[in-house]
Amino acid sequence: MAIWLTSFFGKYKIWIDFHNYGYTILNLNIKNRIVIKLAKLYEQFFARKANKFFCVSELMKKDLKTNWNIEAITLYDRPL
């Protein structure tokens, strides 16, 4: 939210690099379904406010498009 507010008032662009979803990592330690659902909604809402999206696999790209309606560019995360 702070990044979005800063970009809104400062006219900055937001680029998001998806390696995984924050709410799924949160789910490893917190088992409260309400908290996880709220975290997912929060993440989806503010992710859609970004200007450009990157991800690390075609599967992530497909999931972002199917479930979040986000068009991402795949940049493979591998050593040179």
Q: What pLDDT score was predicted for residue 76?
A: 81
User: 11 φ, ψ to 5°?
Assistant: 60, 35
| pTM of the predicted structure, to 2 decimals | 0.75
Query: What are the pLDDT digits (tens) for 12-71?
Result: 788 889 988 989 999 898 889 999 999 999 999 988 888 899 998 999 999 999 999 999
User: Position 22: which residue type?
Assistant: G
